Amino acid sequence: MRIWLMLAAFGLAACPITAQEGGLSAKYSRRLEKILSENIAPFWIRKSLDRENGGYIINFGPASEPGAEGPKALVTQARMVWYFARMARAGRDVQQNLAAAEIGYRFLREKLWDEKNGGFYWEVDPTGNKKLMPRKHLYGQSYGFYAVSEYYLASKRPDVLEFATRIFDVLEARAHDKTYGGYIEYFNEDWTAPPAGEISYMGVPPDWKLMNTHLHLMEAMTTFCRASGLPRARERLLELMAIDSNAVVRKDVGACTDKYRRDWTPILDTDFAVVSYGHDVESVWLLIDACDAAGLPVHPYLDLFRTLWRYSLKYGYDRSAGGFYESGPINRNADALRKIWWVEAEAIVSALYMYRMTGDSQYLEVFDRTLEFIEKHLVDWRNGEWHEFVTPDGKTGGSKAHVWKAAYHNGRAMIECLQLLRCLEAVHKQ
């Protein structure tokens, strides 16, 4: 997309532009580039490709040491396909990253895809031959859909777009909730309803809906909308945007919560009256991106974006050291005080988007201080990749890679922020 079209889509032609913006790229791009090209990218291209069984090895300990052979989960296998495809589309080692994406794409297509019933299995053994968790959850489906759609944008292969469209058709036929909107989330292998009383792969009753799932369905639909240009995809994207900007937002709080009944009645029992700051700020920039894909003006959402940011800054931001905490109870300070790798990654993208939209320096300050926290505490410059979390006393913990941790959040954050800085620099030069 041409720069001026991108700026118009985000309303940036009307944004206040300061002299400072001419120096933002110089100040930050080299640092972001170093994290991506010297810390994230080498780790994954060297360690993750499973040339024997297909897919990716995603099992490394705190010092990046290989772990015991583990299962291959849909979520992280798909996230790695997405990451390598997105790297290629960004023009980074294009042939190498396309080849790496192809390894994972074949595993998705041949091992994780249920040819008989449609949809992806949740988890398989390292070879992909044994289905360990064969039921269908829309959280996992969203990542398979996202990955294949992105791989098409990178490769332009008609067979990949055909597969992405097939995924879309299966989700439409099997899981779309025509009565209440959104998607029913959990099914047996053959898409029938699971037994009463069963708990889904996401740890809740099978008839509940999650903000988390629908947020990632929206990002997948955004990418598929760009890939396919289908009016049906745009229609579903608009529905998901309505859910993620309205149904999951607690208006009297100014923040989102995660758990809902099928009709979008919020479940706010004590354990669920919790705000995830990472998801709230992530939802801001994903909605901005969805507006761009749908061809809609973004400024009608700006009041919501400011509200979500205001809440997260008030209750979940560490003003002394930078970075956001994990979560906290509604209208109270954070009580889960670890700083998780993915939360900080999404925060810097969202902060830079907000600065680009508004020109408000508070967002640039959050970007600056959170990036500094990432560089000092999360990036493992010695062993590669990012630590999973940092505790309140400054200790790092967790593993470098497992069934929930891959290159998707932090790799995407570097790509997005570098692109945003280029756009800001282009505005300054006009």
pLDDT in tens, 338-359: 999 999 999 999 999 999 999 9
pLDDT tens digits along 165-193: 999 999 999 999 999 999 999 999 999 99
Residue position matching structure tokens 């999973």: 388
pLDDT tens digits along 84-114: 999 999 999 999 999 999 999 999 999 999 9
- The mean pLDDT of 229-249, rounded to a whole number, is 98
Predicted confidence at residue 23, as pLDDT, reads: 87
Region for residue 54 given its phi and psi (left: phi exceeds 0; alpha: psi -120 to 50; beta: otherwise): left
Predicted confidence at residue 246, as pLDDT, reads: 98
Predicted confidence at residue 12, as pLDDT, reads: 38
Secondary structure E strands in 95-236: 123-124, 131-133, 136-137, 186-187, 209-210
In whole angstroms, give the CA distance from residue 400 to residue 386: 6
- The SS3 of residue 317 is strand
pLDDT tens digits along 284-336: 999 999 999 999 999 999 999 999 999 999 999 999 999 999 999 999 999 99
Q: How far is CA 12 from CA 6, 9, 22, 54, 354, in A?
A: 8, 8, 15, 44, 11
- Mean pLDDT of all residues in the chain? 94
Closest CA to 40 of 408, 368, 323: 408
Predicted confidence at residue 37, as pLDDT, reads: 98
Q: What pLDDT band is residue 47 in, cutting at 50, 70 and 90?
A: very high
- The mean pLDDT of 363-380, rounded to a whole number, is 98
In the numeric block, which tokens belong to residue 289? 């991106």
Closest CA to 142 of 79, 229, 191, 56: 79
Residue 17 in this model has a pLDDT that exceeds 70: no
In whole angstroms, give the CA distance from residue 64 to residue 49: 15
Q: What pLDDT band is residue 21 in, cutting at 50, 70 and 90?
A: low
Instruction: State the angle between helix axes of 361-373 and 24-34 in degrees (0 to 180), rounded to the nearest 10.
Output: 30
Q: Which residue would you say has higher pLDDT here, 364 or 5?
A: 364
Secondary structure E strands in 140-288: 186-187, 209-210, 249-250, 255-256, 259-260, 274-276
In whole angstroms, give the CA distance from residue 418 to residue 169: 34
Q: What is the DSSP letter of 255?
A: E
Is pTM beyond 0.75? Reply is yes
